[in-house]
Amino acid sequence: MKKLTIILMSMLMLSLVGAVDFQAHKQDTALTVVVTSNNATQCNITYIQSPNGTQTAFSIIMGKSGQVFSSTMASGNFSQIGTTCVGITCTDSIQIETGTVCRDVSVIGQTLSGAKSSTYIIIIIISLLIFVGLIILGLALPSKNDSDEMTGYIIAVSNIKYVKMLCLAFAYLVAIFIAYLSWMLSYAYLDMQFLADMFRILFYGELIALLPLFIIFTYILIANKVRDMKIGEMLSRGLKTKG
């Protein structure tokens, strides 16, 4: 009867959570596994299960401080993106209880919550709408001065073509932002290295092309402005010109 009472008390006092809530963990960094057990005398780490399902056996005795057991697992155990679980066994010499500590391993050590994903989706949708709107507006606006349809002579200098150029320029900047955001999201949260590499190449390609395009854009802008000043002067003197 006394032995039975001790066993029952031990069953009540030994407490190891069967499944710890998933938390984020940064890739390739060490993890200190901490377990609190009310009456355990020893806790061991028995295995690590990688995201691909591979399970590696361990026999690591965790250090004890009061009712807290802890042990640090090497960073190499958390090199794969995805959920990694550490198996733990605790005992009070009478009862044995097992549990797991799981972590969602990601590049930046953060998980993509519902609120974050919604925010990113909204940002991408708005960016795409702005990009498409600027492209449509840029292509739709005229690129020449107002001219007589019959004779082809210029009748007035139009500044709308500068708005057209600015729309296309801002559309390119928005495209760079979209490529960068897509790269960061793919790299940080998605286990799709190919997609992340594709957006990274696209982003750097657009970024490298930015300088020569800026030079060309500035040249065209100045050339058009100088030409319009000459045309405006000719029109003010009553002269006719085509172009």
Q: What is the pLDDT of residue 21?
A: 55
124 and 231 assigned to the same domain: yes
When divided into structural domains, the chain yields a total of 2
pTM over 0.85? The answer is: no
Looking at the domain assignment, is residue 241 inside a domain?
no
Looking at the domain assignment, is residue 166 inside a domain?
yes
pLDDT digits (tens, 9 = 90+) for 135-155: 999 999 888 877 767 777 777
pLDDT digits (tens, 9 = 90+) for 56-73: 898 899 998 888 888 888
Q: What is the pLDDT of residue 79?
A: 83
Looking at the domain assignment, is residue 158 inside a domain?
yes
CA distance 186 to 199: 8
99 and 178 assigned to the same domain: no
CA distance 21 to 89: 17
Give the count of beta carbons closer than 10 Å to the beta carbon of residue 174.
20
Name the least confident of 74-83, 179-188, 193-202, 233-242.
Answer: 233-242
83 and 64 assigned to the same domain: yes
Of 51, 72, 106, the last residue of a domain is 106
10 and 101 assigned to the same domain: yes
Most confident of the ranges 4-13, 21-30, 43-52, 145-154: 43-52
Of 86, 106, 126, the last residue of a domain is 106
For residue 98, the domain's CATH number is 2.60.40.10
Q: What is the pLDDT of residue 54?
A: 87
Residue 175, domain extent = 114-236
Indicate the pairing of strand 68-73 with strand 82-91.
unpaired
137 and 180 assigned to the same domain: yes
pLDDT digits (tens, 9 = 90+) for 166-207: 999 999 999 999 999 888 887 776 666 788 889 999 999 999
CA distance 169 to 214: 9
Q: What is the pLDDT of residue 3?
A: 39
Enumerate residues 6+ apart whose C-beta is below 8 A from 134: 167, 168, 170, 171, 174
Where do we find the tokens 């319009």?
A: 228
pLDDT-derived band at 157 (thresholds 50, 70, 90) equals confident
Model confidence at 92: pLDDT above 90: no
- Region 116-140 average pLDDT: 90
142 and 227 assigned to the same domain: yes
33 and 71 assigned to the same domain: yes
b vs e for 199-209, b when ≥16 Cβ sit within 10 Å of the residue's Cβ?
bbebbeebeee
CA atoms within 13 A on the CB side of 194: 0
